[in-house]
Every structure is written in structure tokens, then in C-alpha cells.
Amino acid sequence: MRFRSVRSRPVVLAVALALAFSPVLAQETASDTSPDTKPDTKPDKKAKTLDAVIVTGSHIRRVDLETASPVITIDRQRIEDTGKTTIGDLLQDLPVMAGFQPNTSINSGFSHGRALVSLRGLGPERTLVLLNGHRMTGPASSVAAAPGVDVNSIPASMVERIEVLTAGASAIYGSDAIAGVVNIILKDRYDGFALESGYGISGHGDDMRRNFGVEWGKTWDKGSLMLALGHSSQNAFYNSDRGFAAHQLSYNNGVVGYMTGSNTRAILTDGSVVAPNSGVGPGTLTRADFHPFGSAAGDRYNYYGTQYMVTPGDRTNLSLHGTYDVTGTTQAYVDLQWTRSKTTSHLQPYGINPSWIGADITQNPYNPFGADLASYYLRTPIFSRKYVSSMTQTNVVTGLRGIFGDSSWHWDLSAGYAHYKDSLVRYGFAVTSELAHVFETANVFNPGDPATVAALRSTLLPVDLADESTSKSLGVSTNGTLFTLPAGDVQGAFGLEYRHNDFRQGTRSSVASADAYGACDYMDGCIMRQGHSETLKEAYAEALVPLLSDLPLAHSLNLNIGSRFSDYSAWGKTTNSSLALEWRPVSDLLVRATAAQVFRAPALGDLYGSPYQGVNDVGSYYDPCEGYTGGAGPGGCQNVPTDGSFTDKGAMTVYVTGSANAHFNLKPESGHSYDAGLVYDPDWLPGFSASADAWRVELNDMISGTDYTYVLDQCYKGDASFCSLVSRDATGQLRGVVVPYAINYDKIEIRGYDAGLKYQHDAGSWGRFQFGLDASLMSKYLVDGGSHNYVGETSSQGNLPRLRTNLNVGWDYRDWHASWTVRYVGRSTVGSAYEGYCFNTDANGNCVYFKVPVYFNHSFSVSRKFEKWHLTASMGVDNVFGKKPPIYYGYYSNASNTDASTYDTVGRYYWGKLRWEF
């Protein structure tokens, strides 16, 4: 079924209405046309070309850098002050980022050394990432890595600045720009040759990081060319290298303890549990070679024992930027960014019950318990899990741009190619049928027997899993002056875009290749060899209409309206529009407001993700129709008797697949984004700027994963779309449930405030000082229409402290530069009493939700230029005071007994960098 949005009218109507009414709103006085009283409305075109730029959040060229769109700019100096080789940490530490953000400090959860950003805590999939104004691409599905664009793929040395738009912008950029936009702008001009080398090490003597890069650039009369090549690496270190993370901690009955897992053990028919003695020799064991489970230290293992604290990896980057003036008004250009990274994740060995894979271990000839054996569980270091990910990210944009004659109109014709590929090789997993055979024939009751070790190792098979997505695009755009009103020029921007998106996933291994039902002969997830594509056609228009100017309390009043029409072959059409107002009562005060429609299209992975299935034995699954006496909606308990006698008597299969594969209608997310604020740049205090904004995002039909219980509950209520996914036989027995990868069922409302202060002061002989403060206060985070506010909690929505701030102080003195940065994260709570999870308990068994205190992290850097040697030397210290992260007990932690998305786990870190320019 195709989804057609009727949320707004077409582009032309939105723009036409504004243009039609703007002359009425604008002032009309005869004196305004006098050459003596009216400024020149058509300044020198050459000057306009030099001064006007396109700022993130608009397609219109403007001289004003402060517009209706709230934008945070991270300049080149601030990037250098961090000493980072990539920009992931820098972006994730911004106050406007919140929630779960995978990074190198999260070894599991399909992070693979990637860094994703989540504006407003709405998730990486709702934050659009651009490179020089063009879309980047990431995984199409979650089979190999978490969805989202890896900002660690961009080398910090090549970034000129980063502009973060903190308001919804689907009318400008299309899908995904719900919480905002991160636009990474690379260097585009350089003359000379440069070498750069850096090294870092933690105060504990580990986490070594190295980087090396070369840059070359040349500018001549008709063009320019810039090339850069870099390589960086990061060493592995382990949770055991930090005292606070050496063991996964728990808090039960008021006592801090260690969370441990169970090693190999046998469960006997009398209920007793025994484990093999350590140090037994090879050969067949007897009952005397076993002891009561739990009585020996080796019976349990440390979850964190061999787990990386930081994911090690290597990255190689290539950047190219070139321009060539074809004529006096036409320029050809090309931008290329290529990154290849290789990371390794390491997890504990998994344990396995032979019955899970259909093996009957009771008939094993080495079974020392005979008929008394009820169950057996084997866990051995042979099954240690390792994931080696090789990711390649390519972004290429090339085209022609220019000016129409002697007019104000600029045009751009471009072609783009964005490609992401993740080849994930999994180690430590067995071929299922071969392992089942070993369980039935080998001496698995003596895991240390060399013959047993060899037999188990023979079942292991490294298997690749490939996830590839590609986006090919064509675009044509133009912007310039439409006509002139008494208040000034009416600016317009128009464009057409075409994209062809496709994704492919699969494996070269026959044993791990899934059939139509998601089944295969491998222990770690099956993957279907498949590929799907979609086409996207879009048209957009934007207009900037000056309504008033040079009047009392109306130095300027501008209206900005935009609209974008999108037609997706995979699901349908939608139109999204925005309206923004800019009012300057006086020249140095801007009052702004924006209202915008936003949307997020279903990803191809959501629609066509590789299927998998599982069989649930009778008594192990949930069925709302057991004991049914009536009251369900139509079809909710098909064929089930109503006398209360019904129970399920057989196994039930859960089949999970893409929503389109399940013939389940998946709509785009849709909602609204609002922002209102002011910017003050006082003429009486040069170098000072202050801003404050109130913001709100409302989102409906959120695309989220679900499980079979939700499908059954919705069917029970009589929802026919879910009942079509439930299979019962003629007697009502539940035989199977199809679960779509994603459905539309959540809505969300978030509100808050942002503030910023900047001040630069020239102190004469004392040098030049810079001061910057950015703050974000989240006041409300409501989910699914409920009244519970998740702000101040670490919950299923991630960590959402009420207040986050960054303070930066810089000082330039002759050839010296120094900076000090303080990052503040406000109070929060470990867990949410509203959600009802009770992972921590006091001495009386009551649930405990620990308060997390405020968190400060200080960083310092200093650099000096040695002009004689063409050298700049920099050094710095991150986490100057060695601040440890707050402890999150139990399952509230996402890594290292804390929230590694928010808090630093490495500790004090020293770095240095040298840059030679010739």
C-alpha cells in the first residue's frame, strides 16, 4: 500500500502566497524612491558575489550570517584545540547532543568504532549529516552496524568548520532532518605543502593514538586543487585496565557485587548442578570428577574480563577538492572524500545448551551421568567472539556552477555518489550441524581434553557479513533576486533533485546464507543475499521576502518560506513546508521564529531487512488468548473457544522480517519543529554576541522496532493489520507470528531552551581573548502521549540530563595560542521508576534509582608557531583532573559500568601534534 501525505499544499502555492501578499505588507512611501533618501538597492554585483554566502538551513545566498535558523558553528581553531584526529568526540560533546550515541568507548552493540550523533536525544537516524552540504550515507539496516552516519570517517585535519542547525529542516533538506542538521565543511583552498603528525597516550600508559597526514594545494588564475592523505590508529586496551570497570558491578540488597556468568555445568534429574573439576587430565570423566556448581572459583566468569574498553582501529583518509574556471561565469568543481577503516571488537565467549541446536547429548558415549543427565551447558574460551569490521565510505560530488550573465542569479548542476560498505567478519562461531555432531559424539564433558578442544575448533568458521548502501544523485538549483519591493530584494531559491538509493546485504558463506524463512546452518545470525532499491524525486522552493526596513522598531522584517515535495517509489509522496520570521527592531538585535514540518522516510532496511526466525517451545511464550472467555476484538482470538479452557499445546514460530516483506504498511514519521529566540550583537560592545532560543519538536508515527507480544496484543484488540500477521490453526492453537522489523507506533514531544555567549576582546599588549559558552536545557521529553517526563533520567530513551554546557576560553599572544574547555553535564538518575525496571535494590529489596551528580570535565591545550621553521607545535591534556565517570550498576550501564555515550572512560589523556608547512 502506498502512503500519500496531505499535510501541506504544493510548493508553488506556498511560495506564491508569500509573494502575493508581501507588497501589501511592505511600506510604500514616495520618499522611499528618492535617490537622496533610499540606499542603493542594487549594489555592485561583484561585491555581492564576494559577500553573500549560503548558510546551513537555507538555499538562499545572504550577507547576514545570523538568520532565522539557529546554527552552532565550530570553527577551525576550536577543532585544532581538541587535538582529535576525528570529529566524533567533539560533536558528541556538544550540549545539544543527548541520548544513546555509539562511539569507540562502546565495544558492543554494533558500534565497531563508529561515532554517531543524536541531536535532542532523538537518535542518529533523525539527525541529518551533510558533507559540504551534500548527504552522506550509512548502513541501510542494522545487521552489521547501528544505523546512522559515522562522523569518525571524517579526518579532523581536513575540516574547515562544522555548522550544526538545531531546528527541523525537512523543507530545506528532506528526510531525516527532524532534530536538525550537522554540516561538515571541508577545507577548499590551500597553497603549499604540509606534513602533520600526532601522538597521544593516557595517563595510565595505554590507549596510544597515532596520526600522520600530508596536504598539498595549488591555486592559479583559473582554478585550484587540493589533496590530502592521512592515516590514524588507536591501540586496544581493556576494561580490566581501569579499576572502576574491571568487573561488571551490581547493587543487590544494598550490597555492591560483581555480575558474573556461569561456566560449563551439568543439570541432573534430581535438580542438582555440577561442574567439572579443574586440572583433570584428558580422557573420560566420572561423576567423581565433578563438584557442586558454585563451590569453585572457576565456576563463574567475569563479564568484563577480556572485553575492550575502547575499540581499536585504523583509518586511512583521502580528500580532494578542485575547481576550474571554464568561462568567466562558469566553474567546474569536484569534491571527494574517501575513508577506509578497520576495527576489532572483542566479547566474552558464549555458552550453549546442545538442545538449542537439536543435539541429544544424553546419548553421548562419554556421558558420565547416563539417564540422570537432564541438561548440559558448555562454555569454553574456544567460543570467544571477535568481530573485525572493514568499512569504506566514499562521497563524491562534481558539477558546474556559475552566474547567469550579469544578473544576481547563481546556478548549480551537480552529480553525486555516496557509498557505504561494511564487511564484518565474525570469529568464534560454529557451523550448527557440525557442532551438534560434536555434542553427540565427542568428549564435551571434559572441555579441556585436547581431543575435545580440537573437535570443537573444527566446527568454527569465520563468516563475513556484508552491508552495502549506495546513493546516486543529480541536482539542479538556482538562487537569486526575484524582484524588488520597497523594503528590499525578494530572494528566491529553486531546485530539482533525483536520487537512486539501493542497499545490498549478504555473505559469501553458504552456511550463513539465510533461506526465505531466515534459517541457516550458522550459530551467529543468518543473512539473506538480497538487494533492493528506490528512486526519489524532489522539488523545492524557498523565498526570502523583506516586509519592512529602516523604520522605527523595524530596522528589518523578513519572511522566509520554503517547501519541498518528495516522491519515493518505495512508499509514496509527501510535502513539507516551513515558515520563518526575522525581525530586527534595531540593527543589533534579531528576533527570530521558525515553524517547520518534518519527516523521516522508512529506510530500505526497515522495509526489506533480512529475515530470521526462532522456535518457542510450549510453555515458554506469551499468548493473550490462553484462558479466553471473550472480550477480544474481531479476529483477536481466531478459532479459540470462549469457555476459558484454552491453552497452547505446541511450539510457536516467530518470524521477523522487513515490513514490506511482511506486507505491513510502514509510513514515514511526520511532525513539527518550532523555534523562537533572539540574537544580540551590541554595537557598543564589539566582539560580543548572545543568543537564546526556545524549541519544541513533536513527532508522530515514529518508526520503531517491536516484538511478537506487541503484535499479539494489537491483534487481540482487533487491529486487522496485526491480525494478518498471526497464524492459528482450526482449534485456535498459536502456530506463528510474523514480526515486522519496524512499525509506526510511538509519538514524542520534547521541549527546551538553548543559549550561547561569545566574546572576543583585543587586550593590546596582553594579546587577544576569546570566550564562548553554549548551553542546552531540556525541559520536557514525553513519549507516546504519556505524562511522564523522561528528562533527568537514564532510561530506554537514553541519558537525558536537564542541563548541559560547554565553556571555552582562548588566548592568543604573539605566536602562542592557549585554550581551556570545561564540559558540564547536569544531574540525572540511573534508571526510571516509571518504566518499572528494578536492577538495583536496597537492603529491604526495594528498587533503588541512584542519583548521578553533576559532572565536570576539563581540557587544556597550547600551541606555538615557529615561523622560521614553518612549524606549529601543539600539545594538550584532556580530562585534566582525571575525572572518573559515574557508576551505573547492573544493566543500566551500556559499557564500563557507566553511560559511555555521555561520560569519559579513558581518564587523563596527553597528546601532541606537529605541523610543518612549506
**Per-residue pLDDT, 297:** 86
Report percent pLDDT > 70 for the chain.
Answer: 93
**Per-residue pLDDT, 108:** 67
* DSSP 3-state of 891: helix
Please report which confidence band the pLDDT of residue 13 belongs to, taking 50, 70 and 90 as the band edges. Answer: very low
> In the predicted model, is pLDDT for residue 40 greater than 70?
no
Q: In what order do the strands lie in the sheet with 734-740?
A: 612-616, 652-657, 734-740, 726-728
Please report which confidence band the pLDDT of residue 630 belongs to, taking 50, 70 and 90 as the band edges. Answer: very high
For the segment 716-740, the average pLDDT, to the nearest whole number, is 95
Choice between 791 and 615, residue whose per-residue pLDDT is larger: 791
* DSSP 3-state of 12: helix
Q: Three-state secondary structure along 72-122? A: EEECHHHHHHHCCCECHHHHHCCCCECCCCCCCCCCCCCCCCCCCCCECCC
For the segment 739-756, the average pLDDT, to the nearest whole number, is 94
Residue with cell 546419548: 363
| Residues recorded for the chain | 918
Rounded distance between C-alpha atoms, residue 62 and residue 53, angstroms: 5
Look at 143-147, 482-486, 736-740 and tell me which has the smallest mean pLDDT. Answer: 143-147
Rounded distance between C-alpha atoms, residue 728 and residue 732, angstroms: 5
How many C-beta atoms surround the C-beta of residue 292 within 10 A? 12
For the chain, what is the radius of gyration of the CA atoms? 31
- Copy the grid coordinates of residue 408: 544576481
Rounded distance between C-alpha atoms, residue 172 and residue 62, angstroms: 16
**Per-residue pLDDT, 447:** 93
Please, what's the b/e burial string for 318-356 (b: 16 or more CB within 10 A of its CB; e: otherwise)?
bbbbbbeeeeeeebebebbbbbbbbbbbbbbbbbbebbe
Look at 314-318, 347-351, 792-796 and tell me which has the smallest mean pLDDT. Answer: 347-351
> In the predicted model, is pLDDT for residue 5 greater than 70?
no
Rounded distance between C-alpha atoms, residue 752 and residue 730, angstroms: 54
Beta-bridged to residue 214, according to DSSP, are 195, 229
Domain ranges of the chain: 3-241+309-348+384-427+462-609+666-705+741-917, 612-657+711-737
Report percent pLDDT > 90 for the chain.
Answer: 78
Judge residue 86's burial from the number of C-beta atoms within 10 Å of its C-beta, 0-12 exposed, 13-18 middle, 19 or more buried: buried
Please report which confidence band the pLDDT of residue 448 belongs to, taking 50, 70 and 90 as the band edges. Answer: very high
E strand or H helix that includes residue 890: none
- Copy the grid coordinates of residue 469: 548502501
Look at 82-86, 681-685, 839-843 and tell me which has the smallest mean pLDDT. Answer: 82-86
Look at 1-5, 205-209, 316-320, 776-780 and tell me which has the smallest mean pLDDT. Answer: 1-5
- Copy the grid coordinates of residue 763: 587586550
Residue with cell 535617490: 35
Cα dihedral 113, 117, 118, 123 sign: negative
For the segment 695-723, the average pLDDT, to the nearest whole number, is 95
**Concatenated DSSP letters of 530-550:** EEEEEEEEEEEEEEEEEEEEE
The CATH architecture to which 3-241+309-348+384-427+462-609+666-705+741-917 belongs is: Beta Barrel (2.40)
CA-closest candidate to residue 136, choices 94, 166, 173, 171: 173
Please report which confidence band the pLDDT of residue 8 belongs to, taking 50, 70 and 90 as the band edges. Answer: very low
**Per-residue pLDDT, 528:** 87
Are the C-beta atoms of residues 540 and 170 closer than 8 Å to each other? no
- Copy the grid coordinates of residue 873: 607545535
* DSSP 3-state of 524: coil
Please report which confidence band the pLDDT of residue 52 belongs to, taking 50, 70 and 90 as the band edges. Answer: low
CA-closest candidate to residue 378, choices 459, 295, 306, 309: 459
**Per-residue pLDDT, 148:** 83
What pLDDT, in 10s, does the model give residues 419-434? 999 999 999 999 999 9
For the chain, the average pLDDT equals 90
Please report which confidence band the pLDDT of residue 29 belongs to, taking 50, 70 and 90 as the band edges. Answer: very low
> In the predicted model, is pLDDT for residue 249 greater than 90?
yes
Look at 6-10, 161-165, 614-618 and tell me which has the smallest mean pLDDT. Answer: 6-10
Choice between 334 and 605, residue whose per-residue pLDDT is larger: 334
For the segment 803-819, the average pLDDT, to the nearest whole number, is 97
Strand ranges, E, within 853-894? 855-866, 871-878
**Per-residue pLDDT, 51:** 52
Rounded distance between C-alpha atoms, residue 342 and residue 309, angstroms: 17
Rounded distance between C-alpha atoms, residue 527 and residue 510, angstroms: 10
Look at 144-153, 209-218, 430-439, 817-826 and tell me which has the smallest mean pLDDT. Answer: 144-153
- Copy the grid coordinates of residue 402: 556559475
**Per-residue pLDDT, 559:** 97
**Concatenated DSSP letters of 771-797:** EEEEEEEEEEEEETT-S---TTEEETT
> In the predicted model, is pLDDT for residue 143 greater than 90?
no
